[in-house]
A and B are shown apart, each in its own frame.
Chain A
Amino acid sequence: KAGVTQTPRYLIKTRGQQVTLSCSPISGHRSVSWYQQTPGQGLQFLFEYFSETQRNKGNFPGRFSGRQFSNSRSEMNVSTLELGDSALYLCASSADQETQYFGPGTRLLVL
């Protein structure tokens, strides 16, 4: 089976812009989670979607949002980008609510 894929792999944006990142889960996985990884804060949970519904959300401002489509693919959006949003954004999928498998990530640089 193909693994979790994320597009794009690298992205450069300027402050104030918005960005959309995409994640395709492993075939058959209905749960998709998003994480932010930064040198200062480490890995932090953003939100989790299952069958197009957001079930849980981490402690991030409303500028961070996401959605999931009927084919389980997911997107996350960050509006009004700030310098501190520069990070590696990781998507993970799960079939059993238990084990999460991660994609390679999208590295976002905000200038």
Chain B
Amino acid sequence: AQSVTQLGSHVSVSEGALVLLRCNYSSSVPPYLFWYVQYPNQGLQLLLKYTTGATLVKGINGFEAEFKKSETSFHLTKPSAHMSDAAEYFCAVSGSGGGADGLTFGKGTHLIIQP
């Protein structure tokens, strides 16, 4: 069984400040980890993923995340927030078997950017 916990349903940062969105997971098998972003009235867009190999992964729009097995975490960061980053962010996990098992999502974090 797998689960994902996203700490903070809402996170507010100033434009230009560091963005940090927290994600902790539990998985009985080596996990594949994902961050998706959802803009209003749209589907989910893949930001980045970790499957194997390098634990620091870079994604689109300047986001990156680090897989820390000892902490069972996969936090998302961006050095400098932009107004266009305001959206809902979802962390997800799947078993190393991939898509057949389906993704298990966290509840989401709404990112608010203050001008």
B99 touches A58 (CB 8 A): no
Q: What is the CA–CA distance of A105 and B43 in the complex, to the nearest angstrom?
A: 6
A97 touches B42 (CB 8 A): no
Q: Does A55 contact B (CB under 8 A)?
A: yes
Size bin of chain A's contact surface: 20 to 34
Q: Does B18 contact A (CB under 8 A)?
A: no
Q: What is the CA–CA distance of A99 and B32 in the complex, to the nearest angstrom?
A: 9
Q: What is the CA–CA distance of A2 and B100 in the complex, to the nearest angstrom?
A: 23
A98 touches B51 (CB 8 A): yes
The A-contacting residues of B in range 30-60, CB under 8 angstroms, are: 32, 34, 36, 42-46, 49, 51
A42 touches B105 (CB 8 A): yes
A-B contact count (CB 8 A): 67
The A-contacting residues of B in range 80-112, CB under 8 angstroms, are: 90, 92, 97-108
Which B residues touch A103, using CB under 8 A?
43
Which B residues touch A45, using CB under 8 A?
102-104
Q: Mark A92-108, 1 if CB is under 8 A from B, else 0.
A: 10101111111111000
B102 touches A56 (CB 8 A): yes
Q: How far is the CB of B102 from chain A (nearest CB, A)?
A: 3
Q: What is the CA–CA distance of A105 and B100 in the complex, to the nearest angstrom?
A: 20
A48 touches B105 (CB 8 A): no
Which B residues touch A102, using CB under 8 A?
36, 43-46
Residue of B34, B44, B102 with most partner-chain A CB within 10 A = B102
**With A45-B103, A48-B102 given, is the CB distance from A97 to B97 under 8 Å?**
yes
Q: How far is the CB of B24 from chain A (nearest CB, A)?
A: 16
Query: B99 touches which one: A33, A43, A44, A104 (CB < 8 A)?
Result: A33
**With A42-B105, A90-B44, A104-B43 given, is the CB distance from A98 to B32 under 8 Å?**
yes
**With A42-B107, A42-B108, A43-B90 given, is the CB distance from A101 to B102 under 8 Å?**
no
* The 6 A-B residue pairs with the shortest CB-CB distance in the complex, in nearest-first order: A45-B102, A97-B98, A43-B105, A102-B44, A102-B43, A94-B99
